[in-house]
């Protein structure tokens, strides 16, 4: 039995102008952009379609923008009767997955991720935290190096386990710098690339953001999932609303287990992944995890029609 998973991208997939063609082509997609503007009380659509890039790149704008584009594309897919057996999203993308699974209303989701972005930007003063992509290192070896650097006094942790040979680390500026300097020699990395981000996401330094997010989520209505959602924190399915609420709080300061999530979905019989939203980041990662699965990126009206 062939199974399908819908997967949704997170921060880093944004581009000025994303979603404009589906806004123009489908009424139900346009309605999503209009709902976002109304829910947030400013023109998010304008920032998405016209930029400038610097404004779109601000975490508090990027997060609701990517969610809006994914849900707008999802609405156009749903109109054509396409359904998934499972859903998952990368970091912020988990909120798009929760909208797809009927856990959150879109309006609640877009307001929540706007707040989540603000909390994440505020959690650590600018310049004190950092992130870097580590290419070619084994997970266990890199985790051991992070633990050693942390013990020496500069916290750094695994943040995103994306696919074999691609792991992102996050932590204090000094901790991440130590991985940049020592990653090749002590963890067998081929390259370590500092990332342009506004904070040390998915590290324990984000706990203040998690506390603030918890109070926002406490006031939001959630339903049990109609489609099983694979959570970033556990790489396992979750359907109970209360459990999902707790995992969303944990997710802010825990590693995104993307490789594990995709392997788990493949074990459940998923052989087709449909990436819904801006870009093709997830398609690239999934192909590196298992080149035999089918991956389709729905990131434009032409891609949607082709599907």
The closest of 235, 236, 282, 232 to 254, measured between CA atoms, is 232
- Active-site residue, selected from the candidate residues 29, 45, 70, 91: 91
The closest of 187, 97, 200, 93 to 139, measured between CA atoms, is 187
pLDDT for the residue numbered 257: 98
pLDDT for the residue numbered 155: 98
CB-CB contact of 121 with 128 (8 Å): no
CB-CB contact of 274 with 250 (8 Å): no
- pLDDT per position as a tens digit, 153-196: 999 999 999 999 999 999 999 999 999 999 999 999 999 999 98
Q: Tokens 């389709």 identify what position? A: 296
- pLDDT per position as a tens digit, 104-117: 999 999 999 999 99
Domains contained in the chain, CATH given: 3-123+205-306 (3.40.366.10), 129-197 (3.30.70.250)
Q: What is the pTM of this model?
A: 0.97
Q: What is the mean pLDDT of residues 28-37?
A: 98
Q: Please give the backbone phi and psi of residue 225, each rounded to the nearest 5 degrees, phi first.
A: -70, 135
CA-to-CA distance for 198 and 195, rounded, in angstroms?
Answer: 9
91 is catalytic: yes
For residue 26, give both structure tokens.
Answer: 């489908």
pLDDT for the residue numbered 1: 81
pLDDT for the residue numbered 198: 82
Instruction: Provide the pairing of β-strand 129-135 with 166-172.
Output: antiparallel
pLDDT for the residue numbered 307: 86
Percentage of the chain with pLDDT > 70? 100
Instruction: Provide the pairing of β-strand 166-172 with 156-163.
Output: antiparallel
Residue 252 has pLDDT above 90, yes or no: yes
CA-to-CA distance for 262 and 251, rounded, in angstroms?
Answer: 17
Residue 95: CB atoms within 10 Å: 29
- pLDDT per position as a tens digit, 114-131: 999 999 999 999 899 999
The confidence band for 57, taking pLDDT boundaries of 50, 70 and 90, is very high
CB-CB contact of 274 with 3 (8 Å): no
- Active-site residue, selected from the candidate residues 70, 202, 254, 278: 202
CB-CB contact of 36 with 66 (8 Å): no
Helix intervals (H) in 41-169? 44-50, 53-56, 59-79, 93-100, 106-123, 139-151
CA-to-CA distance for 237 and 213, rounded, in angstroms?
Answer: 22
Q: How far is CA 263 from CA 83, 230, 270, 293, in A?
A: 21, 11, 9, 11
- For 178-241, the three-class secondary structure string (H helix, E strand, C coil) is HHHHHHHHHHCCCEEEECCCCCCCCCHHHHHHHHHHHHHHHCCCCCCCCCCEECCCCCCEECCH
Q: What is the DSSP secondary-structure string of 12-25? A: T---TTTTHHHHHH
Q: Share the mean pLDDT of the chain.
A: 97
Partners of 276 in the β-ladder? 298
- pLDDT per position as a tens digit, 194-240: 998 889 999 999 999 999 999 999 999 999 999 999 999 999 999 99
């Amino acid at each position: 039995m062939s199974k399908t998973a819908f997967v949704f991208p997170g921060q880093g997939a944004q581009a000025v102008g994303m979603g404009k063609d589906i806004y123009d082509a489908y009424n139900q997609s346009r309605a999503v952009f209009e709902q976002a503007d109304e829910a947030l009380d400013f023109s998010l659509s304008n920032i998405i379609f016209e930029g400038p890039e610097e404004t779109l790149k601000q975490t508090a704008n990027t997060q609701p923008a990517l969610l809006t584009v994914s849900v707008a594309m999802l609405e156009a897919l749903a109109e054509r009767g396409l359904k998934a057996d499972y859903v998952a999203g990368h970091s912020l993308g988990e909120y798009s997955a929760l909208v797809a699974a009927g856990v959150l209303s879109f309006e609640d989701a877009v307001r929540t991720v706007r707040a989540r972005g603000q909390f994440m930007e505020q959690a650590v003063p600018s310049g004190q935290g950092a992130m870097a992509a580590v290419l070619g290192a084994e997970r266990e070896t890199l985790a051991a190096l992070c633990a050693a650097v942390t013990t020496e006094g500069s916290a750094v942790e695994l943040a995103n386990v994306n696919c074999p040979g691609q792991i992102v680390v996050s932590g204090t500026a000094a901790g991440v710098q130590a991985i940049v300097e020592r990653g090749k020699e002590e963890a067998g990395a081929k390259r370590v690339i500092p990332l342009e981000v506004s904070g040390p996401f998915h590290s324990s330094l984000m706990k203040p953001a998690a506390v603030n997010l918890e109070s926002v989520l406490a006031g939001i209505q959630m339903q049990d999932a109609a489609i099983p959602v694979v959570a970033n924190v556990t790489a396992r399915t979750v359907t109970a609303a209360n459990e999902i609420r707790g995992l969303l709080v944990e997710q802010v300061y825990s590693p995104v287990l993307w490789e594990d999530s995709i392997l788990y979905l493949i074990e459940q019989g998923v052989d087709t992944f449909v990436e819904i939203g801006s870009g093709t980041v997830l398609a690239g990662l999934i192909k590196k995890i298992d080149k035999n699965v089918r991956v389709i990126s729905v990131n434009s009206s032409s891609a949607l029609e082709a599907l």
